[in-house]
Structure 1
């Protein structure tokens, strides 16, 4: 009788979808609450969720309070250690340069949803040069993007940020006076290049 279990790759994709959905839900929470930009992160160890966080830049008036940074800080405290090499972080979007630095320091494995280009297309200055990502990969950090539906749901969160009038205005104000149009990126200032990841 043939086995009814999903192949290992399909099982991994199902797990990726479930955890990415949780990270994306956190990104929506950031937008709905006004706490920060539409970014979320979940840290897991052996399949169990350790922490689930979203961007808190506006709430904390802290440009370093990105979802990944907040999640890593909380996981280190909760686990009582700095080395998170036995954990994975599921980020709704490809991490920025600042977050990649902390990811390297904590030795955590990275799984992300939306490419940074999707965030840039939505008006966020979140691009990460390929050479920079390659440097971190060569230093031993595991970085991979989810596939299929998990990647698609991660990109949709950027549309939500533009559907909420207050959030759209906040995006414009927080860019140092730069005005944005959906899909056209920054018109003026680049002072807040790391603010929204």
Structure 2
């Protein structure tokens, strides 16, 4: 066994850093969802991770603050889901532990409804809105275990002033999950 690590480096895939080099403003849920679905598809095509992507946008003007793709297998770290990646990079960019500060209200757009871990991260992140594409059932059909997520989980987010929108471009987002499963992609839970 190796020595204890003293720091962890979490790089985005090269193709994604190139894609994010140009500032971007997307002004509606469908445009933002199309963007994260494209990222989820590209993550599979480039062999850099699972079929999930997420992005944080500033609500007022649609500015892309940060994006993330699933990096569990690439970086051998079970917590590096797309939502967690996007939230970490957004908080780093804004220099704050909460997305309720740093220049406005922020939204998390994710290609699939979050798993239990990512719902928790969403709650604590400070986003004011969560927009989802594919459903939990779509992810489970592809072999993923989403953990203990209940209707009450979403109700709790709403009670905490986090608006939730589900099913945006669901068919397109679910098609990426189906493609991943059909092409032999690894469902890496546990």
TM-score range normalised by the length of the shorter chain: 0.7 to 0.9
- SS at 1:52's partner residue? strand
- SS at 2:119's partner residue? helix
Spell out the pairing of 1:61-80 with structure 2 (5 A cutoff): 61-80=76-95
Q: 2:119 aligns with which of 76, 100, 123?
A: 100
Q: Are 1:27 and 1:39, in contact at CA under 8 Å, matched by a contact in 2?
A: yes
2 CA distance for matches of 1:67 and 1:112?
Answer: 12
Higher relative contact order (CA 8 A, sep 6+): 1
User: Which stretch of structure 1 is more off in the superposition, 64-73 or 155-164?
Assistant: 155-164
Please identify which structure carries the higher helix content.
1
Superposed CA RMSD in Å reads: 1.7
2 CA distance for matches of 1:27 and 1:76?
Answer: 21
1:1-48: per-residue Cα shift (whole Å, max 9, x none)? xxxxxxxxxxxxx82111101111111122223333210001111311
Larger Rg: 1
TM-score by length of 1: 0.73
TM-score by length of 2: 0.75
Gaps of 5+ in 2: 1-26
* 1:43 matched to 2:42: no
Which residue of structure 2 lines up, in the alignment, with residue 34 of structure 1?
Answer: 47
Q: Are 1:122 and 1:158, in contact at CA under 8 Å, matched by a contact in 2?
A: yes
Gaps of 5+ in 1: 1-13, 176-191, 193-197
Spell out the pairing of 1:1-197 with structure 2 (5 A cutoff): 15-45=28-58, 46-85=61-100, 86-108=105-127, 109-126=129-146, 128-147=149-168, 150-165=169-184, 167=185, 170-171=186-187, 174=188, 192=190
Equivalent residues, number? 156
2 CA distance for matches of 1:97 and 1:163?
Answer: 25
2 CA distance for matches of 1:162 and 1:123?
Answer: 7
